[in-house]
Amino acid sequence: MKHYHAIRNRISNVNRDIWLFLLAVGIIGFSGQMIESTFNNFLNDTYKIGVLERGILEFPRELPGFSVAFVAALLFFLPGRRLAAFAMVLQAIGLILLAFCASSFSIMLVWLFIMSMGMHLFIALQNSIGMELAREGHEGRRLGQFSSIRNFTAIGGSFLVYVGFKYLHLTFAITFVICAAVLLAAAVCFMAMTPMPVHKAGLHLKLYREYSLFYWLSVLYGTRKQIFITFAPWVLVTIYGKPTQVIAYFFTIGGIAGIFFQPLLGWVIDHLGERFVLAFEGVCLVFICLGYGFAKSVFPDGNTAYYIAATCFIFDMILISASMARATYLKKIAIHPSHVAPTLTMGVTIDHAFSIAISIICGFIWYKFGFQYVFLVGMFIAITYFFSVMAIQIPNNVKLRLKLNHK
């Protein structure tokens, strides 16, 4: 009974904004996983596009990520949490239009742009809002908790897709409508949160020499991320011929693993540091690239190669969460707290400038030489990433302050 009251008191003392953000993050995880689980099959089944078109399609899909710093500057009068609500509404509108008004590939690209703008606006905000809700020195732990909740609800999204497409005749249009509805609920959560001070428009567009390593890691993360977001599921769909429900099944497994891995990852960031986490990510990515690119060559029977590629897909899903270490690194080296959110937004713009280019280049490489060479490029990026993160240094005064906070 004593422990019960202690837990109850601890829960009741949790800040209301944390509960609202947890709910919003859970909703976003649910809808995001439904979209991820169906989007590649939606393109393949509806428009019958090839790999070259798939690479080019990333330009309108990722262009909003490049423009997010400029859009955030235009909307500087909106506090971050209100901007997040706007992002949810924008994404919901894009999904509704994709569901009912995408009669041709070219029209679909317009609605995709709208949906993607909402999605990328929130990508730029999620870590800054999460760190606002954390005690100093415990940002990694808090971001890990939020990511874990997002993964938990994402399991529901991918499981619904798996069951729906396998047994309930779920369609792509109905999937997009469900996602739009829950995203509007997330918008309500953000509107109910306490608004924080706004950032001046100029902060969103300014580059600082002191953050040059963060910007460079954003470049490498953007190229690494885009290869796997675009071409890893495309390998499973086109090379191994797997349908929507199988992709959803892998997302479910990755989500279950992430529930346990991401809080641990947050703890490791707080106690062992960002350099350790990001270097570990770089090493793992080298082996993941080899698995994606060459399993089929080494194991021509097919089944073994497929299981290796699927395992790489799941591990890659889990490792994406390591990007939170870049956010906590930036907060530790920030010249002023007001720089954190705008610089994270600029990081999204920078990473997408390169992710757009790499998706088009790698689409051409796949078309001309084969999918294996796409993942050779990915392996080279992973090696560069590893050596780059070894240059991470946290100021001694920050280390001392964090050490005292952990006592």
Q: pLDDT at position 404, please?
A: 45
User: Which distant-in-sequence residues (6+ apart) come within 8 Å of 308 by Cβ?
Assistant: 291, 295, 299
HEC readout, 70-86: HHHHHCCCCCHHHHHHH
Q: Which residue type is seen at 293? A: G
Which pair of structure tokens corresponds to residue 19?
């509960």
Q: Of 125, 115, 121, give the one whose Cα is nearest residue 60.
A: 115
DSSP annotation string for 299-323: -TTSHHHHHHHHHHHHHHHHHGGGG
Q: What is the CA 233 to chain-centroid distance, rounded?
A: 15
Which pair of structure tokens corresponds to residue 308?
């290796």
Q: pLDDT at position 161, please?
A: 85
Is residue 348 within 8 Å of residue 68, measured between CB atoms? yes
pTM of the model: 0.73
Q: pLDDT at position 12, please?
A: 54
The CA distances from residue 345 to 49, 76, 142, in Å, are 32, 12, 20
Q: Which of helix, strand or coil describes residue 294?
A: helix
Handedness of CA 75, 78, 79, 80 (dihedral sign): negative
* Residue-level pLDDT, tens digit, the chain, 407 residues: 554 444 455 555 567 888 888 899 889 988 888 888 788 778 777 877 776 676 667 677 777 777 777 777 777 777 778 888 999 999 999 999 988 887 888 888 888 888 888 888 887 787 778 777 767 666 667 777 777 788 788 888 878 888 888 888 888 888 899 999 999 999 999 888 887 766 565 565 677 888 889 899 988 888 888 788 778 887 888 777 777 677 777 777 777 777 777 778 878 888 888 889 899 999 999 999 888 888 888 887 768 888 888 888 888 888 877 888 888 888 888 888 778 878 888 888 888 778 778 877 888 888 888 888 888 988 999 999 999 999 888 765 554 454 545 45
Q: pLDDT at position 344, please?
A: 81
Q: pLDDT at position 181, please?
A: 93
User: Which distant-in-sequence residues (6+ apart) come within 8 Å of 85 by Cβ?
Assistant: 186, 187, 188, 190, 191
DSSP annotation string for 341-353: HHHHHHHHHHHHH
Rounded Cα distance between 121 and 87, Å, is 6
Handedness of CA 310, 383, 32, 104 (dihedral sign): negative
CA angle 324, 327, 331 (to 5 degrees): 140
In the chain, what are the domain boundaries?
A: 2-406
Superfamily for the 2-406 domain: MFS general substrate transporter like domains (1.20.1250.20)
